[in-house]
Structure 1
């Protein structure tokens, strides 16, 4: 699809601009290209997911949707926060998900006759995952920054990052918002999912609850004991790993390995 191909190209160009030590004008160009890429991404997503039979929520289509949400969150954060280098992780990820959806011809998995409540549940779940995805990527940047600073080998890339306190503040903002939405997602799931076992959702629910507990303990530890640094990074990555397995591990097993919906 030509729209997706242009989006991929613009994401990669914007990544290259952000990788350099750009002046303010280059930063503006990179973010402007990313906005255009996101619009193209959205156009491609609409064509890929909206089928005559219903909304396609197969593995790769869902990944494309999540990556679009992550890019949008990055761009909104970039309006008033120094998160430019986060784009070095976010933008290639979006390009890869689009490319995989174009390359791999997988069976479409359509959810038909979704109630309004279920649509809200799915939307909240995707938003929660996207916010915590951004938090996990931010945690990876924090890891790189922390390791290099402790080794006293801070190159230009680490020096271009904001101070650790600023990086951690943004991390916990994403975790806090994601935790609230994940709580709403779990609550709405219990209210609206009719048959947990028949819908193959047991493992997804268990892993999501584990992730929710992990992020909850992390936020409590931050409030009670001032957890930060490597402790915060470890808990963030553990929580997101569980959520990743819940959202995409189950879809991968069911759709691509077991060929079940």
Structure 2
């Protein structure tokens, strides 16, 4: 996703979205499931409207704030679909809190302007990368649920009717596999078509922090998938590798953009 320059309407929508997410997170423990879902659904719709507003008009910009915002919306979209198939999934409070933080960061740090000579294909390249963030984010959420379920089983306190542990594990690795495919496509596009995407030889493939962390994340997820397929990795060992790869991927773009935009006050997407 590439978002346009922030407008008063976009800022107002972002604040309203963060407030809706915050209200959901605060009241989730006191409201019934149906009411909480309605509140979260309203926040999700406001979030979608905020992102749509950012796509219309103005000069294109991007950064770590919008990247986190889009990632949070994608994870919530996955949850909305899955909650229909697995009603016992109960992470509404956590996701609402994360959504509020992500939207506020996008309002406070809307990103930097893209280079005027950037290719029209650059939005697709960035969209692939953010989509991989979303799938890996969904994998992390499911890994957290899996760890919580394992703990309940060991303590003999697992509630009846919960999502089976093997189902959570299968879903986790499906998201990892999907994210790995999109991350591979993103890296290949950057390697093969970097000059065309950014419209300048200055942005050709180079070994900067973003590249190094992205490749390290790619290797980590690849090892995880191979370990799962060949050696049957599961449980804590597998989730630790997943968390490590996710941290590396987060540092690759969001971390580097945070340093450039907030600490150094410079840089382009």
TM over 0.5: yes
What SS class does the counterpart of residue 84 from structure 1 fall into? coil
Contact 2:210 2:256 in 1 (8 A): yes
Query: 1:206 aligned to 2:212?
Result: yes
Instruction: Give the alignment partner of residue 114 of structure 1, picking from 107, 114, 118.
Output: 118
Residue-by-residue CA offset, 1:172-212 (whole Å, 9 max, x unaligned): 11111111111111111112212576787622111111111
Structure 1 residues 129 and 108: CA distance shift in structure 2, 3 A: closer
TM-score, length-scaled by structure 1 = 0.83
Structure 1 residues 196 and 163: CA distance shift in structure 2, 3 A: farther
Backbone CA RMSD of aligned residues:
2.7
Structure 1 residues 193 and 209: CA distance shift in structure 2, 3 A: same
Instruction: Give the alignment partner of residue 48 of structure 2, picking from 29, 42, 63.
Output: 42
Structure 1 residue 78: Cα displacement: 2.1
Q: Partners of 1:78 and 1:181 in 2: how far apart?
A: 24
Is 226-235 or 5-14 further displaced after alignment? 5-14
Q: Partners of 2:258 and 2:226 in 1: how far apart?
A: 32
Q: Partners of 2:241 and 2:87 in 1: how far apart?
A: 23
Structure 1 residue 94: Cα displacement: 0.8
Query: 1:175 aligned to 2:176?
Result: yes
Contact 1:196 1:202 in 2 (8 A): no
Q: Partners of 1:107 and 1:244 in 2: how far apart?
A: 18
Q: Partners of 1:82 and 1:46 in 2: how far apart?
A: 29
Contact 1:86 1:138 in 2 (8 A): no
Q: Partners of 1:154 and 1:249 in 2: how far apart?
A: 38
Pairing 1:121-136 to 2, within 5 Å after superposition: 121-136=125-140
Query: 1:220 aligned to 2:234?
Result: no
Pairing 1:94-105 to 2, within 5 Å after superposition: 94-102=99-107, 104=108
Count of residues paired in the alignment = 251
What stretches of structure 1 move > 6 A for 4+ residues in a row? 196-201
Match of 1:137 in 2: 141
Structure 1 residues 120 and 83: CA distance shift in structure 2, 3 A: farther
Contact 2:66 2:110 in 1 (8 A): no
Match of 1:85 in 2: 90
TM-score, length-scaled by structure 2 = 0.81
Query: 1:70 aligned to 2:80?
Result: no
Residue-by-residue CA offset, 1:73-102 (whole Å, 9 max, x unaligned): 221222323463233332211111222334
Query: 1:154 aligned to 2:157?
Result: yes
Structure 1 residues 107 and 227: CA distance shift in structure 2, 3 A: closer
